Amino acid sequence: MKYPKSILDKFRPSFEPGGKLSFFKPIFDALDYFLFLAPRTTKNPPFGRDPLDVKRYMSLVILGLVPSFLAALYFFGWRVLLILIVSYIAGGSVEVLFALIRKEEINEGFLVTGFIYPLILPPGIPLWMVAVGIVFGVFIGKEIFGGTGRNVFNPALIGRLFLALGYPAAMTGSWVKPGWLPWGKLLSSFTIGPPDAVTSASPLVLAKSGQFTPLFNLFVGNVSGSLGETSAIAILLGGLFLLIVGVASYRTVFSVLLSFVGFNVLLRLVAPSVVNPVLFNLLSGGILFGSFFMATDPVSSPVTQAGKWTYGIIIGLVTILIRSFSGFVEGMMFAILFGNICAPIIDEVIIRTKMRRYAREE
Amino acid sequence: MKNSVHVLVFSGILAMVCAILLYAVTQFTEPLRKINEETDKDRNFLSALGVPIPKNVKPRELLNIFEKNVKIKKIGKITIYEYIPETSKSGKPIAIAVPFSGPGFWAPIKGVLAFEPDLLTIRGIRFYQQEETPGLGGEIASKWFQDEFKGKKIVSKNGEPGFRIVKSGGKSKKANDTNAVDAITGATRTSERVERMLDKVAKELYKERKNYVR
Amino acid sequence: MSDSAVGLATGSGTTKPNKKKYLETFLGGVYNTNPVTVQVLGICIFLAVTIRVQNAIVMGLALIVVLTGTNLFVSLLRAYIPRRIRMIVEVAIIATFVIILDQLLRAYYWEMSKQLGPYVALIITNCIVMGRAEAFAMQNPPLISMVDGAANGIGYLWILVAVSLVRELIGSGTILGYTILSTSWYERNILFLLAPGAFITGGLLIWVINAINLSTNKEDAK
């Protein structure tokens, strides 16, 4: 590994301040860092007090997402890979552009955003729409707030929200029937062409008209839905891994799920005709995926422990309310974004109450 | 004390002046406003019935056309508007309009359905009052949606009265019954509500129809 | 109102404004202290009417008329308006103006009035009108108050038009009702027809304007 390193070192001066190519320094650094792991400390939050730096943190999250990604690949075919590539290229360009303008390092944060985002999209979505969504998500959801670590909202969700509200017809018409044993859709080509374009309503849409998909199918994942959210077992595999290594906060995950289940039970007692059964609700839609991978985003969720519980309870409640009583069949996206808005206020309130208590004790 | 008198006198005069001004303007514009509001409904009825309306028609002329060509009748509880051209000798209607209304997604929707003389086949539809989401539910006011209704009937193939707005799932599930049109994608709620009011008017009309068509 | 009122009002006002003050007032309303991009006022109407360019133009023009008119009358009466009830007086004048305008639109431009819905009547609550009356017309002679009113109206108009151009183009693929982006290949973005579309477009516009101001200020400093 010495040889390539010496090549990089040869070009280093021209990227240093004053050099000809100093504008492109962030790209050079990223390459250097990616290939040779130059020992450096993080300059931007989130800061960690343990060996878990941003980079390792991000790679662990991606590792946790791998089961869901593989499930998506199996059920919906190779097009998933295409969507992922588009997401990385389009969103990455915005990220690099802003790093150049700000003269900052290119942040690894985008690796996760660009990986989660395809998993919350419907399988049949046009590729240009994938690009538009992630560009909007990274630009409006993250960069204008100051970049990684300063975003109020989860950028991937902002991207999806933009598509869901901007192109509702295309988004609701892009559900695809999943493949099944033995090879899923692995043998199909990259396109979801006319022969495959049987749009099929997602379980939550069907539930509105009283058709409940069997729980086994929801658990395994051979149902229609967003790419990564259909297979409950894959999500649980990856999610539990994140809980064990301590990357995802168990407080957030449990509070979201407990509040969702709790309010579901309560509301079903009050209005059994409009509220779906608990297990069905828990296994369908984005509630599992959202609680493990999206609500736990350390930047857009509260910092305090009590804050995390409050935040999770809000998300669970809002989700079940939207699912049961609104025109939308799925509420996870709105609920997490709503939680994101509340997060800073929750922290503020909790920290102040604590400070007041300390002051009184002294 | 002097101050209070000033306040009283000033506000008195100001209120008087404003009141007189407002009164004068409302009085002056009233006939014009009234005719605008009336012709607004008539214009939609005429256009649904297929009555030729000259371009840039003055409101008063429009009322005139309406009075000359349209006869209002009642069959059962339903008010119908018959289009009998003033030049027609037979005096038989060539189209019949039936108004309908109901709750929309944001605000009440009002519209009119025009039928062929058989009172079964739809000739046209107009929504003259709606505040649905622009671009989504608001599409009910657009030409492509209203064109879907042309030639549809208020009975299904099997002879059942009613009307459906079908959620089209891709190309395979297009509305193909005689009494169904495709819904607006992304505007499920508006479509549902419009379906409900059309279904109601279709069923009621079908019941009263025997007393009308001989 | 009467001639004596004009004479008295100008006489009791501050020193006669010169040409430079007129220009400053005008530029202030149109750009430097623009009601939308700098003061962020009148946003409710801004959200509603910028769906279509045509609506934006009519609303902008209506606001120019109302602002100029109310500023004139408030300024003329400023020497007589008792301080304690000045807000109520301002509202009364504004309301009278707006109702008259609304009635005229209903009588002569029915289609337009129908499209603008309740928003013409809601000009009464538009903070810009009240703001200009209170902040400017109460302290300045009639002529320059009219300039201030018109300038703020123009400032509102051009922002409305700029934002509505973006929203109508992206949301409906049309401009002033003429198809620019054909739906045969262009997918309309509904979000731009909803309120968030106005917030996003307006926010980006404010960003651009601030960025321009910042860079020109830097150059001035040099």
Preferred mutation among B185, B190, B191, B192 to probe A, highest tally of A CBs within 10 A: B185
**Inter-chain residue contact C104 with B25, CB threshold 8 Å:** yes
Task: Give the highest mean pLDDT range of A311-315, B34-38, C99-103.
Answer: A311-315
| Average pLDDT in chain B | 83
CB B184 within 8 A of CB B137: yes
pLDDT confidence of residue C121: 81
pLDDT confidence of residue C6: 36
For the segment B150-171, the average pLDDT, to the nearest whole number, is 77
- pLDDT band at residue B154 using 50, 70 and 90 as cut-offs: confident
pLDDT in tens, C4-49: 333 333 434 455 678 888 888 898 888 888 888 888 888 888 988 8
CB A98 within 8 A of CB A147: yes
Q: How many CB pairs under 8 A join A and B?
A: 18
Of B170, B185, B188, the CB nearest to A198: B170
A169 at B interface, C-beta within 8 A: yes
Which amino acid does the sequence have at C65?
V
CA distance A327 to chain B (A): 7
pLDDT confidence of residue A36: 56
Chains that touch B (3 or more CB pairs under 8 A): A, C
DSSP summary character for residue A105: P
Please give the ipTM for the structure prediction: 0.81
Chains that touch C (3 or more CB pairs under 8 A): A, B
For the segment B40-60, the average pLDDT, to the nearest whole number, is 81
Of B170, B186, B188, the CB nearest to A199: B170
pLDDT confidence of residue C3: 36
B78 at A interface, C-beta within 8 A: no
Of C189, C194, C196, the CB nearest to A167: C189
Preferred mutation among A165, A167, A337, A341 to probe C, highest tally of C CBs within 10 A: A165
Percentage of the residues of chain B whose pLDDT score is greater than 70: 92
Preferred mutation among B2, B8, B11, B56 to probe C, highest tally of C CBs within 10 A: B11
The total number of structural domains in chain C stands at 1
pLDDT at B170 over 50: no
**Inter-chain residue contact C191 with A144, CB threshold 8 Å:** no
Residues near A123 by beta carbon (within 8 Å), at least 6 away in sequence: A72, A76, A77, A79, A80, A174, A175, A176, A192, A226, A227
pLDDT confidence of residue C158: 95
**Inter-chain residue contact A162 with C191, CB threshold 8 Å:** yes
- pLDDT band at residue A328 using 50, 70 and 90 as cut-offs: confident
C→A contacts (Cβ < 8 Å), by residue, are: 187, 189-192, 194, 196, 200, 207
Number of Cβ atoms within 10 Å of the Cβ of B173: 13
CB B154 within 8 A of CB B96: no
DSSP strand pairing (B180-182 vs B164-166): parallel
For the segment A63-79, the average pLDDT, to the nearest whole number, is 91
pLDDT at A100 over 70: yes
**Inter-chain residue contact C187 with A168, CB threshold 8 Å:** no
Which amino acid does the sequence have at C14?
T
Q: Please tell me which residue of chain C has the smallest CA distance to A132.
A: C189
Q: Please tell me which residue of chain A has the smallest CA distance to B184.
A: A169
The SS3 assignment for B85 reads coil
**Inter-chain residue contact C103 with B10, CB threshold 8 Å:** no
| Average pLDDT in chain A | 84
A271 at B interface, C-beta within 8 A: no
pLDDT in tens, A153-164: 999 999 999 999
Q: Please report whether residue C13 resides in a domain.
A: no
Query: Tokens 């009148």 sit at which residue?
Result: C42
A129 at C interface, C-beta within 8 A: yes
Percentage of the residues of chain A whose pLDDT score is greater than 70: 86
Q: Please report whether residue C102 resides in a domain.
A: yes
Separation of CA A92 from chain center: 16
d(CA B205, CA C105): 39
**Inter-chain residue contact B18 with C108, CB threshold 8 Å:** no
**Inter-chain residue contact B6 with C108, CB threshold 8 Å:** no
d(CA C34, CA A90): 36
Q: How many CB pairs under 8 A join B and C?
A: 62
Q: Which residues of B touch A198 (CB under 8 A)?
A: 170, 172
pLDDT in tens, A35-49: 555 445 556 666 555
**Inter-chain residue contact A140 with C200, CB threshold 8 Å:** yes
Of B136, B169, B189, the CB nearest to A199: B169
pLDDT in tens, B184-199: 776 778 888 999 999 9
pLDDT confidence of residue C75: 94
pLDDT in tens, B78-132: 888 888 887 777 778 888 888 898 888 878 898 998 888 888 889 889 988 887 7
Domain ranges in chain B? 70-209
The SS3 assignment for A219 reads helix
d(CA C151, CA C148): 5
**Inter-chain residue contact B25 with C103, CB threshold 8 Å:** yes
d(CA A183, CA B193): 43
CB B113 within 8 A of CB B97: yes
Of C92, C96, C171, the CB nearest to B135: C171
Which residue range is the domain that position C96 belongs to?
36-221
**Residue with more model confidence, C22 or A147:** C22
pLDDT at A279 over 60: yes
d(CA A162, CA B170): 23
- Tokens in use for A172? 């609701």
Q: Please tell me which residue of chain A has the smallest CA distance to B105.
A: A327
**Inter-chain residue contact A168 with B185, CB threshold 8 Å:** yes
pLDDT at A283 over 50: yes
Of B170, B172, B189, the CB nearest to A327: B189
pLDDT in tens, A246-264: 888 999 999 999 999 999 9
- pLDDT band at residue A352 using 50, 70 and 90 as cut-offs: very high
Which amino acid does the sequence have at A160?
R
pLDDT at A198 over 80: no
Q: Please report whether residue C30 resides in a domain.
A: no
pLDDT in tens, C198-222: 999 999 999 999 888 888 887 776 6
Per-position DSSP letters for A33-60, written without gaps between them: HHHH-------SSSP-SSS--HHHHHHH
CB B109 within 8 A of CB B96: no
Q: Which residues of C touch A168 (CB under 8 A)?
A: 190
Q: Please tell me which residue of chain B has the smallest CA distance to C168.
A: B135
- pLDDT band at residue A356 using 50, 70 and 90 as cut-offs: very high
Q: Please report whether residue C14 resides in a domain.
A: no
d(CA B123, CA C202): 44
Of C106, C114, C193, the CB nearest to B135: C193
Task: Give buried/exposed letters for A266-284 (b at 16+ CB in 10 A, else e).
Answer: ebbeeeeeebbebebbbbb
**Residue with more model confidence, B45 or A293:** A293
Interface of A with B in 199-228 (CB under 8 A): 199-201
pLDDT confidence of residue C9: 38
Number of Cβ atoms within 10 Å of the Cβ of A56: 15
CA terminus-to-terminus distance, chain A:
59
Percentage of the residues of chain C whose pLDDT score is greater than 70: 91
Q: Please tell me which residue of chain A has the smallest CA distance to B190.
A: A327
CA distance C171 to chain A (A): 8
**Inter-chain residue contact C192 with A166, CB threshold 8 Å:** yes
CB A178 within 8 A of CB A76: yes
pLDDT in tens, C144-193: 999 999 999 999 999 999 999 999 999 888 898 888 888 788 888 888 98
**Inter-chain residue contact C190 with A140, CB threshold 8 Å:** no
CA distance C35 to chain B (A): 27
Closest CA to B130 of B190, B187, B182, B200: B190
d(CA B163, CA B202): 6
